[in-house]
Amino acid sequence: MNSLLKLEFFKSIGFPTKESGMAFINENENLKKQIEEKVDEIDDVKYKIIDYIRDKIFPKYEEKKDIFILKVKGEQSAKIAHKKDLQKKALKEEMKEELLKEIKEEEEMEKKKKLIKNYPDAIPIIEKDIAEKFITIQDQFVKIMKMYDRGDIKQSELKNIEKMKDQVEKAFNVIEKVSKHLDKYVD
């Protein structure tokens, strides 16, 4: 009933909104019952018409319908196949790019190894572990000073820690100077 009776219907009989019209119907049982009977009649007629269309009209077009359905299924299959082809191409491209990247990295590593071998006195060997420690060394000093504040490290060891800090700063300064000097050749 709710889907059948639209706003235009309720406005045509004086209600400002569909909700107000439905509220009036729901308050009046006799009116609601009469409308529901008519809605049931409409549903019966609607289903009879649908059955008639399905059983009497569509069979006349069975051959055309079959051809049309085959055409639609063919188009769907073609779309699916095209989509799969595009996915395969995208995957191949992605794999190709990854493979080329790996090959390039390997070639660079080989060139680097060869240069290190040919010029052992000119190229420093820096292990990755040590490079990673450069990043975390300040955190290590912070942890040590927290231990000192708690009393886990003696006053006598503080001088040694301060000397290590000075050595680290000197090492970083040397690395920075070397890097700046090397930049002159690279740029």
Radius of gyration of the chain (CA): 42
Our CA angle for 7, 12, 16, nearest 5°, is 55
- pLDDT tens for the 187 residues of the chain, in order: 667 788 888 899 999 999 999 999 999 999 999 999 998 888 899 999 999 999 999 899 989 988 898 888 889 988 998 999 999 999 999 999 999 999 999 999 999 889 888 888 888 877 777 777 777 888 898 999 999 899 998 888 989 999 999 999 998 899 889 988 888 887 6
| Confidence (pLDDT) at 187 | 66
Q: Is residue 176 part of a domain?
A: yes
Q: Is residue 87 part of a domain?
A: no
- 85-118 as b/e: b if 16+ CB within 10 A: eeeeeeeeeeeeeeeeeeeeeeeeeeeeeeeeee
pTM over 0.85, yes/no = no
Query: Residue 18: which residues within 8 A CB-CB, separation 6 or more?
Result: 5, 6, 7, 10
- Within 10 angstroms of residue 32's Cβ, the number of other Cβ atoms is 15
Q: How many domains does the chain have?
A: 2
> CA dihedral in degrees (137, 139, 144, 150; nearest 10)?
180
Q: Is residue 163 part of a domain?
A: yes
| Confidence (pLDDT) at 1 | 62
Q: Which domain holds residue 133?
A: 126-187
